Structure 1
Amino acid sequence: MKFALSTLSTAVMTVTLMSLAASNSANANDDTITSQNEVAPVVVTQIIDADNQSVTQKSNLQNKAATTKTQTAKAEFKTGLSTLIDPITHKSIDNSYPLEVSSLLSLEQAQNILLQVSPKVAANQAAIAASEYETDALKTIDNPLVFARVSANAYNLDADVDLSSIKTGIINDVNSSVDSITPPIADLPDFGELIGDRIPDTYDLKRSGSTTGAGLGVVWPIYTAGRTAALTGASTARTQEAVADSILDTNELYNTLIERYFKAQLAIIAAYLREDAYDTVQQVDHMAQRLFEEGFISRVDRLEAQSALADAKSESVNANNDARLAMMALQRLLRTDYRIKPTTPLFVSSRPLPDVNYFQDLALSNHPGLQKVAAKRAQAQQLHALSDTGYKPTVMLYGYGQLEKDPSWIAGISASWKLWGGLDKTASLASSNAKIRQADLSEIEVSDNLLLLVEKNWHDVNNAQSRYQALQSNVDLAAEVLRLRRLGLQEGVNTPIDVVQAQTQSLKARTEQAQAANTYVQSLAALMQSCGTPLAFNAYLNAADIRLPTLYSK
Structure 2
Amino acid sequence: MLTHLKLVLKPTAKKLTILLVLITASITAQELSLKEAYNLMLIKNGDLNASQQEVNAKQEELKAVKGLRYPSLSVSATYLNLDNDIEVDLNEQRTMVSGLLGVADPSVLGDWNFTLQDKNLGFASADINWPIFAGGKINAANKASKINYELSENHHKIKTNALTIKLIDYYFKLKLAKEAENLRQKVYETIQLHNEHAIKLFENGIIPEVETLNAKVALSNAKRELLAAQQDVSLATTAIKNLIGDEAFNTTSTNFINPTIQPSLNEFQQEMIQENEQLKFLEKNEELAKVGVKVENSEYFPKVALFGKHTFWKDNLDLLETKWLVGVGASWDLFNGFEREHKIKAAKHKVLQVQQLEKQAKLNLLTYTEKLYNELEKQREQYNSLATDLALAEKLKFMRTRAFEEGTGTSLEVIDATLQLTQIKLFKIKALYYYNTTYGELMVSLNKTENFLNQI
Q: TM-score range, shorter-chain basis?
A: 0.7 to 0.9
Q: Distance in 2 between matches of 1:517 and 1:110?
A: 20
Q: State the partner residue of 1:456.
A: 371
1:304/1:61 CA distance change after superposition, 3 Å: same
What amino acid does structure 1 have at the position aligned with 2:158? L
Residues 148-177 of structure 1, C-alpha deviation per residue, up to 9 Å, x if partnerless?
22223456669xxxxxxxxxx9xxx99xx9
1:434/1:343 CA distance change after superposition, 3 Å: same
Q: State the partner residue of 1:439.
A: 354
Residues 358-379 of structure 1, C-alpha deviation per residue, up to 9 Å, x if partnerless?
2112112211112111110111
1:66/1:526 CA distance change after superposition, 3 Å: closer
The size of the alignment, in residue pairs, is: 421
What amino acid does structure 1 have at the position aligned with 2:23? N
Per mean C-alpha deviation after superposition, the further-off stretch among 57-66 and 263-272 is 57-66
Q: State the partner residue of 2:318.
A: none
What secondary structure sits across from 1:397 in the alignment? strand
Q: Distance in 2 between matches of 1:399 and 1:496?
A: 103
Q: Distance in 1 between matches of 2:421 and 2:26?
A: 42
What secondary structure sits across from 2:205 in the alignment? coil
**Deviation (angstroms), 1:420:** 3.0
Q: State the partner residue of 2:418.
A: 503
Residue pair 1:360, 1:531 contacting (<8 A) in 2 also: no
2:74 is aligned, of 124, 147, 156, to 147
1:61 is aligned, of 2, 10, 21, to 21
Q: State the partner residue of 2:257.
A: 347
What amino acid does structure 1 have at the position aligned with 2:265? V
What secondary structure sits across from 1:222 in the alignment? strand
- Give structure 1 stretches of 5+ with no counterpart: 1-9, 13-56, 68-100, 159-168, 178-207, 542-554
Q: State the partner residue of 1:107.
A: 34
Residue pair 1:11, 1:102 contacting (<8 A) in 2 also: no
1:299 matched to 2:209? The reply is yes
Q: Pairwise mapping of residues 28-39 of structure 1 onto structure 2 (< 5 A)?
A: none
1:422/1:400 CA distance change after superposition, 3 Å: farther
2:179 is aligned, of 249, 269, 281, to 269
Q: Pairwise mapping of residues 217-366 of structure 1 onto structure 2 (< 5 A)?
A: 217-349=127-259, 351-366=260-275
Residue pair 1:454, 1:530 contacting (<8 A) in 2 also: no
1:422/1:242 CA distance change after superposition, 3 Å: farther
Q: Distance in 2 between matches of 1:254 and 1:353?
A: 22
Q: Distance in 1 between matches of 2:161 and 2:197?
A: 54
What amino acid does structure 2 have at the position aligned with 1:119? G
1:540/1:384 CA distance change after superposition, 3 Å: same
**Deviation (angstroms), 1:501:** 1.2
1:424/1:455 CA distance change after superposition, 3 Å: same
Q: Pairwise mapping of residues 19-34 of structure 1 onto structure 2 (< 5 A)?
A: none
* TM-score normalised by the chain length of structure 2: 0.84
Residue pair 2:31, 2:249 contacting (<8 A) in 1 also: no
What amino acid does structure 1 have at the position aligned with 2:73? V
Q: CA RMSD in A?
A: 3.4
What amino acid does structure 2 have at the position aligned with 1:133? E
Residue pair 1:288, 1:302 contacting (<8 A) in 2 also: yes
Residues 520-539 of structure 1, C-alpha deviation per residue, up to 9 Å, x if partnerless?
11121122233232333235
Residue pair 2:269, 2:370 contacting (<8 A) in 1 also: yes
What amino acid does structure 2 have at the position aligned with 1:519? Y
Residue pair 2:174, 2:236 contacting (<8 A) in 1 also: yes
1:310/1:423 CA distance change after superposition, 3 Å: farther
What amino acid does structure 2 have at the position aligned with 1:399? G
Residues 285-326 of structure 1, C-alpha deviation per residue, up to 9 Å, x if partnerless?
111211222222223222222111111111111111111221
1:517/1:130 CA distance change after superposition, 3 Å: same
What secondary structure sits across from 2:298 in the alignment? coil
1:283/1:404 CA distance change after superposition, 3 Å: closer
1:394 is aligned, of 303, 327, 331, to 303
What amino acid does structure 2 have at the position aligned with 1:414? G
Residue pair 2:214, 2:412 contacting (<8 A) in 1 also: yes
Residue pair 2:180, 2:229 contacting (<8 A) in 1 also: yes
Residues 387-436 of structure 1, C-alpha deviation per residue, up to 9 Å, x if partnerless?
11112101122222322485444332211011333881111111121222
Q: State the partner residue of 1:417.
A: 332
- Give structure 2 stretches of 5+ with no counterpart: 4-16, 86-91, 100-117, 315-320
2:282 is aligned, of 360, 373, 392, to 373
Residues 234-285 of structure 1, C-alpha deviation per residue, up to 9 Å, x if partnerless?
1111112111111111111221111111111110110011111111111111
Residue pair 2:124, 2:311 contacting (<8 A) in 1 also: yes
Q: State the partner residue of 1:403.
A: 312
What amino acid does structure 2 have at the position aligned with 1:137? A
Q: Distance in 1 between matches of 2:51 and 2:339?
A: 36
1:342/1:403 CA distance change after superposition, 3 Å: same
Residue pair 1:121, 1:249 contacting (<8 A) in 2 also: yes
1:117 matched to 2:44? The reply is yes
Residues 2-49 of structure 1, C-alpha deviation per residue, up to 9 Å, x if partnerless?
xxxxxxxx469xxxxxxxxxxxxxxxxxxxxxxxxxxxxxxxxxxxxx
What amino acid does structure 2 have at the position aligned with 1:377? E
What secondary structure sits across from 1:353 in the alignment? coil
Residue pair 2:393, 2:421 contacting (<8 A) in 1 also: yes
Higher helix share goes to which structure?
2
User: Identity across aligned pairs (percent)?
Assistant: 25
Q: Distance in 2 between matches of 1:411 and 1:108?
A: 63
What secondary structure sits across from 2:123 in the alignment? strand
* TM-score normalised by the chain length of structure 1: 0.69
What secondary structure sits across from 2:67 in the alignment? coil
**Deviation (angstroms), 1:352:** 1.2
Residue pair 1:151, 1:212 contacting (<8 A) in 2 also: yes
Q: Pairwise mapping of residues 117-136 of structure 1 onto structure 2 (< 5 A)?
A: 117-136=44-63
Q: State the partner residue of 1:88.
A: none
What secondary structure sits across from 1:388 in the alignment? helix
Q: Distance in 2 between matches of 1:440 and 1:64?
A: 57
2:399 is aligned, of 479, 484, 495, to 484
Residue pair 1:366, 1:533 contacting (<8 A) in 2 also: no
